[in-house]
Amino acid sequence: MVLCCYMNRNALEYIVSWYDRKNRKPLIIRGARQVGKSYLVREFAKRASLTLVEINFEKDPEAAKLFNKQSIPKTCEFLEIQYKTRLQPKTTLLFLDEIQAAPSVIPILRYFYEERPDLCIIAAGSLLEFVLTEQAFSMPVGRVEYLNLGPMTFEEFLEARGETQLKGYIHKLDLKESIPLPLHQKLMEQVRTYCVTGGLPEAIKVFLKSTWDECEIIKKNILSTYQDDFSKYRNRIPDVRLRKVFQKIPQLIGEKLKYVNIDSEERAKDLGQALDLLCMARVIHRVYHSSANGVPLGAEINQKFFKLLFLDVGLVSSMSGLNLLDFEKAENIILVNQGKLAEQFVGQHLLYDLPPYQTPELYYWAREKKNAAAEVDYVVSAGSQVIPMEVKSGKSGSLRSLHLFLKEKKLSLGVRFNSESPNVLKADNFTLISLPFYLIGQWKRLCLPEKQQY
């Protein structure tokens, strides 16, 4: 196996298209710590042969004083003197990293757009949402663009491992074909490995170059870094409460949240505030209940009812005390940790399945009636179409809730993710497509009716 020397990210293609646009605006990359924002920018600069002028405001907070909204020409002059590099429109990339540490610089991006739109400017921030709620300034609406970045996907992980042929195989796979058992088993082995390493670039890099134990150390350090960040919220939320909520989340994945399951002695309002901050830091995500009668799904949410997703399946594995041996012994990842890892795996991919400029969002559906309760793990949309999705290990007979949802909403397509080979079940009024976990990145190509795959 030949390991790649870099972590290729799909988001690079988006940055290239942004760079080539005539009317581009300063780009702000949003995402949790350690998802690879800085690496992405550096890799883009390298591939585009641009001179990189990188300013990290956490390491150099005084650099913010070089920015003057009253005079962008003066700002450019100061930057050129300080960093001994000419800011040339076609050959220079100005990278403002950890911009949340210099809130005063954020509004100045609008003046760069208005006065120097020819300059290539990218900013990145890991706690940006939190800072924006604290600062008394208006965002440069309409004068900046956003790219939302999550963990590396399973297919990006395959490429990093040098499994380009496997990646190419699933990209060409047709549902009418049968998958040879050895290939299916090999791909499921890769899924199990991904569930342990997760999608954070540093953890994957160490796993590929060193050992599983070293990878685990990296993940533990990342988790410690997240918790160290809690001190930044101390003025609003006690550290102890934030840590308590943070550490409890992996046990609650896939369940409708009840605050009593976090801490029966804390007020729901206080725990809710802690959740808000962790969501703003993008360490966790709320998956809201939607009535799902049509699109947009977010128009029919009930904010009182939601489930939680963690940032990354590999971190969930570490926090749950699971290691590579646990997954190697498991014939079906749906059985590991009561299926929470499988639901996390699918959920984090669906969450960032939107175009990069859209804020990540994901929903579920439930009906709570006595003797008639039902729940669909996830509900997504494709165009005007609403599509229910289940994460299951059993056969179609265990999909009562999904069948009920399809019947009630008069929909024609449902999707299930499991550990089995692909399967298409056609009923009188709907089609149920079962996909193995390794096809999570191909579900649109394989399932949407206009693709004519089944």
**What is the average pLDDT score of the chain?**
90
Please, which pLDDT band fits residue 398 given cuts at 50, 70 and 90? low
Q: Are residues 378 and 364 in contact, defined by beta-carbon separation less than 8 angstroms?
A: yes
pLDDT tops 50 at residue 3: no
Q: What is the pLDDT of residue 451?
A: 54
Q: Looking at domain 11-148, which of 3.60.40.10, 3.40.50.300, 1.20.810.10, 2.60.120.10 is its CATH number?
A: 3.40.50.300
In single-letter form, the type of residue at position 281 comes to A
C-alpha closest to that of 33 among 137, 170, 197, 150: 150
The helix/strand/coil state of 366 is strand
Residue reference for tokens 């489930």: 307
Find residue 145's DSSP bridge partners.
27
List of residues 6+ apart from 66 with CB closer than 8 A: 75, 78, 79, 82
CATH 3.40.50.300 domain locations along the chain: 11-148
Please report which confidence band the pLDDT of residue 130 belongs to, taking 50, 70 and 90 as the band edges.
Answer: confident
Q: How confident is the model at residue 1 (pLDDT cuts 50, 70, 90)?
A: very low
Residue 294 burial (C-beta neighbours within 10 Å; 0-12, 13-18, 19+) = middle
> What is the band of 137 on the pLDDT scale with cuts at 50, 70, 90?
low
Residue 237: which pLDDT band, with cuts at 50, 70 and 90? confident
Residue 107: cis peptide before it, omega within 30 degrees of 0: no
Nearest to 44 by CA among 76, 18, 75: 18
Strand pairing class (363-367; 284-290): parallel
Gap between the Cα atoms of 141 and 454, Å rounded: 44
Selection from 119, 124, 120, 68 nearest residue 101 by Cα? 124
**187: closest CA among 424, 367, 355, 439?**
439
* Closest C-alpha among 280, 282, 308, 302 to residue 290: 302
Dist CA 287 CA 305 (whole Å): 9
Peptide bond into 388 cis (omega under 30): no
Q: Is pLDDT at 396 greater than 50 in this prediction?
A: no
Longest dimension (CA), the chain: 72
Q: How confident is the model at residue 370 (pLDDT cuts 50, 70, 90)?
A: confident
Q: What is the pLDDT of residue 357?
A: 93
Asked if pLDDT for residue 356 goes beyond 50, the answer is yes
> Are the C-beta atoms of residues 447 and 440 closer than 8 Å to each other?
no
d(CA 123, CA 178): 46
pLDDT of residue 307: 96
Asked if residue 446 lies in contact with residue 453, where contact means CB atoms within 8 angstroms, the answer is: yes
Question: H or E element: which one contains 363?
Answer: strand 363-367
Residue 345, pLDDT score: 96
Nearest alpha carbon to residue 191 among 414, 342, 64: 342
